[in-house]
Structure 1
Amino acid sequence: MPILVSAMSSRPSHPLQRLFTYSREYRGQIWQASFCSVLNKLFDLAPPALIGLAVDVVVEQQDSLIAQYGITDIRNQFIALSVLTFIVWSLESVFEYAYDRLWRNLAQNIQHKLRLNAYDHLQDLDLAFFENRSTGSLMSVLNDDINQLERFLDRGANEVLQVITTVIIIGGVFFVLAPSVAWMAMLPMPFVMWGAIAFQKLLAPRYAEVRERVSLLNSRLSNNLSGITTIKSFTAEAYESDRICQESLGYSQSNQRAIALSAAFIPLIRILILIGFTATLLYGGLITVDGQLAVGTYSVLVFLTQRLLWPLTRLGETLDQYQRAMASTNRVMNLLDTPITLHPGNHRLPMSQVQGDIRFEDVTFAYDNGQPVTEHLTLKIPAGKTIAIVGSTGSGKSTLVKLLLRFYEVQQGRITLDGINLQALDPQDLRQAIGLVSQDVFLFHGTVAENIAYGSFGASREAIRAAAKVAEAHDFIENLVSGYDTIVGERGQKLSGGQRQRIAIARAVLKNPPILVLDEATSAVDNETEAAIQRSLEKITQNRTTIAIAHRLSTIRNADRIYVMEYGQLVEWGTHEELLERNGLYAGLWRVQMGEKL
């Protein structure tokens, strides 16, 4: 189950706070990486001090600072400086390797956990969530937004820490060595910090717009790639290219608006830095000439001023990364905060114990609080029997399947399986007990064998072949280029509709569930394929509860009972012969399909 950040009412408001709250288990690694970043910067700032010591040796010779520690020989002083330099540079390199590895591994760990938790959370949401959002926008969150966060953790977090360390260390050194000069070097700092905060506030909404724009672009691309056959058949390539152009242009323009602001940050910071550096260079030089400041100390201050102020120019790039990452973090965390409306029951019902007695009791349901699709519906499906549900389009037939599988929750009434309310059942147990064969067969990119074994992942090749034979799919599979190892393509596009349908039936046969649901399983195939599918269905519906939803009444005429729906309610029920004798809605539909009535 996904780890949610917190309840909607109490979650941290700032995306960085939300990220830290989410990443609690990685705090030890964060501290280690931060410690190495700080130590690396300490050793990185040491060379200017070594240069100052070298200048001090040249100018003062036996009276230098190093000589005060007992090394009076000038040659030995330079040897000592060389050894110290080697040690400092080596430690700087060691800690650079350490922080780089720690931060990058941390980025990988967090993005891996975040992507998995976001995906797991998505799987727990009901179908209404997916029907109201495009696949491309969700892909944008799972891929692009999480990758954006990873890029910031790779580099940006270290940059922020090292800038803070630089300001603290060099500021302290300045006030110790030359308090009269220190304030000049530090003068730009408040303005730089103020500018960074001001830019952050201005950039935040612009990068939020960038994330939304890329989401729309991904959505359009995903939709078009899925519908490429339709695009080509309607010669709509130019039209779709224009729509992609518009979405891409919108994304580009939103980026340009953000860039126009972020690009101004570095030039403005450079002006402030120039003021501080020039003041230190001029005033420090004058007091050094007057003898108020040692030459070595002045050299250190000049170098340190540059080391203090010039890294601030990278704040623009770091700030840019930070704002992109925070906009992405908000989108990922908002996804994780989406409430799960499907509450798993704790009643376990192993598939071996399922009898298959299903009852809909006074069930009312509406999509998105609209008009009820089913209203006060009551029907019984005895265990081991085959029942059919027919009716005109929009009468609520397929909705019953979605409610039975708990893709949606009933809003009134209840559905029971073997006398147990579905809401009390563990959804995994419920769905394991049901085999669904629908009109819209989804095959995954992979082999035929992998698609038949989907959901029965440990099945042997012999069991897969046996299931294919029952589904009358074995012969055509053997004639494929690589037989059961043939790649079916995305959504099974290399196979015909009838072939996909028979693989779906083989998948259900292999699962061997006590309840079988056939949702328009033969409505999109030719007569020959329909006959083959009907033969296989006659075999697999024996001794199991079967619910067949169909437009073609000829396929369900032998059902034990037929329910006729209209506007979400049951209007007729009985056997095929009883319904024809009643001369109601079912009899009218039958005559139309038999060509007796226009």
Structure 2
Amino acid sequence: MAEPERPVPAGDSPLRSLWTYTRGHRRAVLWASACSVLNKVFDLAPPFLIGMAVDVVVRREGSLIGEWFGVHDLMAQLWLLAGLNVVIWGAESVFEYLYQVAWRNLAQTIQHEARLDGYAHVQELELAYFEDRSTGGLLAILNDDINQLERFLDHGANSMLQLGTTVLAVGATFFIVAPDVATLAVLPVPVILWGSFRYQRSLEPRYAAVRERVSELNTALANNLAGITTIKAFTAEAREVERLDGVSRRYVEANAEAIRLSSAFVPMIRMAILVGFGATLVLGGHKVFANELEVGSYSLLVFLTQRLLWPLTRLGETFDQYQRAMASTRRVLGLLRTPAAIVSGPERLPAVRGELHFDGVDFAYGDARERGPMVLTKLELRVPATQTHAVVGSTGSGKSTLVKLLLRLYDPTEGAVRLDGVDLRELALEDLRGSIGLVSQDVYLFSGTIYENIAYGRPGAARAEVLDAARLADVDSFAARLPKGYDTLVGERGQKLSGGQRQRISIARAILRDPALLVLDEATSAVDNETEAAIQRSLAEVSRGRSTLVIAHRLSTVRHAHCIHVLDGGHIVEQGRHEELLALDGIYARLWRVQTGEREAA
């Protein structure tokens, strides 16, 4: 899958990075924000109506509404207020509906795109990235962290906008109606905001720690569920519950630290609110007694003080949501910023002959800062087009590393791997991997039917082609006996099937691909001798006319290869046909005697 087109910003501010990432949705963000602001504006209007109603009762025909609208009949003034009330409440309800729809749809869209971009980018990363990280940790980012971001966009963003609107609108009204009262009434606001930002900075590292504990917990659960058979076999259920208890407790402790800090926020704000509300009651009342403030205006200020200050008690909850979301945003965008070490080359190969050459290849796992011991050293190996070559050797000799280099899951430390004379680093990955059919010893089947797993090798293949590939791989011998045949579900990772059955499905999948280069990495390691013989006959037919590289531990599977290469110590020490290698009486001959049960000389 191609890299996402949406920008992946760099920088330390997660909110700014999120704004840059959602550049394609700016219009939707502005519309949702406008609806939130207008909803809050109409929500703040009822205290003004209450003040006007009090003004009508106190000043009667000389009320403010009478002066504004030229209506002096008292009942007409009340009916006018009732009509304004209907308009205001109706508008508030409309904009509440609009902002909820806008923010929720935006949250779902961004959640979908972030998860898709994250998964697409993860697929582009080199194999070494996955070897250094846990599956549970990646799942925590792609699921839990993105869901946390969605919850903030669904609720938190609207809360922050409406709180800001409230502070500005009510503060402006106070300074217009009674500037001296306003000074004391809004005095707590800077204190509250200062405290909020201080809490925000204190909460940020704590919520980052919570996200890390979530990753650890997901990793532990994923590992245990994957290894449930081993846990049961070693009666380790109690031990694993105890171990999970420790991981879960660390998550609880990380959350508890954040909770202790965030819970102290609201009581602190209540004390500050008490100052502002008390100032409005006392100083405003004094001005009414001195005939310096109308009763209606006093009523308006009292109600607005409550509308201004009490919502600030939810500021802690809002910042709590914000910090959780920003910690998750930092992790999601951090994943998207991870550079891919293996990138596609520019050169295309429309027609692949299948000539393979490992040209002076050195390779060691790890990066330049922390490289492990050399696995391959000055390796020279040629596979002419349409020939079958085998690589054999003892465990740990580097056989499977050849497959990883060929698929460009890794790049050589030195030297080059060439296909049809072209360095793999110059080839488009789509052309390279599309020309290879891999049958690995570690068979992975997707949750689905037998037919779907075979057809995965070439989407769009005709059913007859899929069934032909299945017959060549001897899948038909067991699929025909199943009640649902090829429509039988294989279960997660193919757990409903035996190892040999999974292996044959994998071979059928590779055969269906019709590759120019067939790679068999211990392809018959999980089958019995009879099945192996049947598969070998099929592979001999399939290999005709195409290049085949066989990585094998069982020497019986490669005795008819055009050339057998013996790998030892990271380089080729012997090569030739089966009979020639036996005549050399070297490593290959010794391995042959061990596998065929012949007595080894003392």
TM range (shorter): over 0.9
1:466 equivalent in alignment to 2:468: yes
Q: In the alignment, which residue of structure 2 is the partner of 1:38?
A: 37
Q: In the alignment, which residue of structure 2 is the partner of 1:551?
A: 553
CA distance in structure 1 between the partners assigned to 2:278 and 2:376 by the alignment: 79
CA distance in structure 1 between the partners assigned to 2:265 and 2:129 by the alignment: 40
Residue 393 of structure 1 is aligned with which of 385, 395, 400?
395
Q: In the alignment, which residue of structure 2 is the partner of 1:505?
A: 507
In the superposition, the TM-score normalised over structure 1's length comes to: 0.98
Q: In the alignment, which residue of structure 1 is the partner of 2:355?
A: 357
1:28 equivalent in alignment to 2:30: no
CA distance in structure 2 between the partners assigned to 1:3 and 1:15 by the alignment: 19
Offset of residue 527 of structure 1:
1.9
Q: In the alignment, which residue of structure 2 is the partner of 1:283?
A: 283
8 Å Cα contact 1:5/1:337 also seen in 2: no
8 Å Cα contact 1:139/1:218 also seen in 2: yes
8 Å Cα contact 1:126/1:342 also seen in 2: yes
Q: In the alignment, which residue of structure 1 is the partner of 2:136?
A: 136
Q: In the alignment, which residue of structure 2 is the partner of 1:62?
A: 61
Q: In the alignment, which residue of structure 1 is the partner of 2:127?
A: 127
> Quick one: which amino acid aligns to residue 570 of structure 2?
G
CA distance in structure 2 between the partners assigned to 1:439 and 1:379 by the alignment: 22
Distance 1:459 1:4, change over 3 A: closer
Offset of residue 266 of structure 1:
0.8
8 Å Cα contact 2:10/2:337 also seen in 1: no
CA distance in structure 2 between the partners assigned to 1:464 and 1:5 by the alignment: 38
Q: In the alignment, which residue of structure 2 is the partner of 1:194?
A: 194
Residues 134-178 of structure 1: CA deviation (Å, up to 9, x unaligned): 111100000000000110011101111111111111000000001
Residues 407-445 of structure 1: CA deviation (Å, up to 9, x unaligned): 111121111111111111110111110000011100000
Equivalences for residues 129-528 of structure 1 within 5 A: 129-350=129-350, 353-368=351-366, 369-528=371-530
CA distance in structure 1 between the partners assigned to 2:342 and 2:282 by the alignment: 71
Offset of residue 5 of structure 1:
8.0
8 Å Cα contact 1:358/1:380 also seen in 2: yes
Residues 226-274 of structure 1: CA deviation (Å, up to 9, x unaligned): 1111111111111111111111111111111110111111111111111
8 Å Cα contact 1:444/1:492 also seen in 2: yes
> Quick one: which amino acid aligns to residue 403 of structure 2?
V
Q: How many residues align?
A: 594
Q: Which runs of 5+ in 1 are unaligned?
A: none
Instruction: Give the secondary structure class of the aligned counterpart of 2:580.
Output: helix
CA distance in structure 2 between the partners assigned to 1:309 and 1:484 by the alignment: 67
8 Å Cα contact 1:140/1:215 also seen in 2: yes
Q: In the alignment, which residue of structure 2 is the partner of 1:14?
A: 13
CA distance in structure 2 between the partners assigned to 1:370 and 1:6 by the alignment: 35
Offset of residue 543 of structure 1:
1.2
More deviation in 493-502 or 473-482? 473-482
Residues 309-332 of structure 1: CA deviation (Å, up to 9, x unaligned): 011111111111111111111111
Offset of residue 529 of structure 1:
2.4
CA distance in structure 2 between the partners assigned to 1:214 and 1:250 by the alignment: 9
Residues 8-52 of structure 1: CA deviation (Å, up to 9, x unaligned): xx8221111111111111111111111111111110000000011
8 Å Cα contact 1:5/1:18 also seen in 2: no
CA distance in structure 2 between the partners assigned to 1:130 and 1:555 by the alignment: 32
> Quick one: which amino acid aligns to residue 449 of structure 1?
Y
Instruction: Give the secondary structure class of the aligned counterpart of 1:331.
Output: helix
Residues 561-590 of structure 1: CA deviation (Å, up to 9, x unaligned): 000001111100000000011111111111
Instruction: Give the secondary structure class of the aligned counterpart of 2:439.
Output: strand
More deviation in 206-215 or 100-109? 100-109
CA distance in structure 2 between the partners assigned to 1:534 and 1:278 by the alignment: 90
Q: In the alignment, which residue of structure 1 is the partner of 2:531?
A: 529
CA distance in structure 2 between the partners assigned to 1:21 and 1:255 by the alignment: 30
Distance 1:481 1:250, change over 3 A: farther
8 Å Cα contact 2:457/2:510 also seen in 1: no
CA distance in structure 2 between the partners assigned to 1:591 and 1:524 by the alignment: 22
> Quick one: which amino acid aligns to residue 324 of structure 1?
R
CA distance in structure 2 between the partners assigned to 1:489 and 1:460 by the alignment: 24
Instruction: Give the secondary structure class of the aligned counterpart of 1:71.
Output: coil
8 Å Cα contact 1:434/1:517 also seen in 2: yes
1:92 equivalent in alignment to 2:92: yes
CA distance in structure 2 between the partners assigned to 1:387 and 1:526 by the alignment: 23
CA distance in structure 1 between the partners assigned to 2:20 and 2:202 by the alignment: 25
Residues 79-108 of structure 1: CA deviation (Å, up to 9, x unaligned): 111111100111111111111111111111
CA distance in structure 2 between the partners assigned to 1:470 and 1:499 by the alignment: 13
8 Å Cα contact 2:469/2:509 also seen in 1: yes
8 Å Cα contact 2:6/2:24 also seen in 1: no
Q: In the alignment, which residue of structure 2 is the partner of 1:49?
A: 48
CA distance in structure 2 between the partners assigned to 1:72 and 1:459 by the alignment: 84
CA distance in structure 2 between the partners assigned to 1:338 and 1:568 by the alignment: 31
CA distance in structure 1 between the partners assigned to 2:238 and 2:462 by the alignment: 48
CA distance in structure 1 between the partners assigned to 2:567 and 2:324 by the alignment: 52
Instruction: Give the secondary structure class of the aligned counterpart of 1:114.
Output: helix
> Quick one: which amino acid aligns to residue 204 of structure 1?
E
Offset of residue 300 of structure 1:
0.4
> Quick one: which amino acid aligns to residue 427 of structure 2?
L
Residues 524-573 of structure 1: CA deviation (Å, up to 9, x unaligned): 22222222322222221111111111111011101100000011111000
Q: In the alignment, which residue of structure 1 is the partner of 2:588?
A: 586
Q: In the alignment, which residue of structure 1 is the partner of 2:74?
A: 74
8 Å Cα contact 2:119/2:142 also seen in 1: yes
Distance 1:5 1:14, change over 3 A: farther
Instruction: Give the secondary structure class of the aligned counterpart of 1:367.
Output: strand
Instruction: Give the secondary structure class of the aligned counterpart of 1:38.
Output: helix
In the superposition, the TM-score normalised over structure 2's length comes to: 0.97
Offset of residue 499 of structure 1:
0.4
Distance 1:465 1:516, change over 3 A: same
CA distance in structure 2 between the partners assigned to 1:264 and 1:294 by the alignment: 39
> Quick one: which amino acid aligns to residue 295 of structure 1?
V
CA distance in structure 2 between the partners assigned to 1:421 and 1:392 by the alignment: 28
CA distance in structure 2 between the partners assigned to 1:250 and 1:480 by the alignment: 47
Instruction: Give the secondary structure class of the aligned counterpart of 1:371.
Output: strand
Instruction: Give the secondary structure class of the aligned counterpart of 1:407.
Output: coil
Offset of residue 504 of structure 1:
0.5
Instruction: Give the secondary structure class of the aligned counterpart of 1:348.
Output: coil
Instruction: Give the secondary structure class of the aligned counterpart of 1:245.
Output: helix
% identical aligned pairs: 58
Offset of residue 6 of structure 1:
7.1
Instruction: Give the secondary structure class of the aligned counterpart of 1:549.
Output: strand
> Quick one: which amino acid aligns to residue 359 of structure 1?
H
8 Å Cα contact 1:359/1:379 also seen in 2: yes
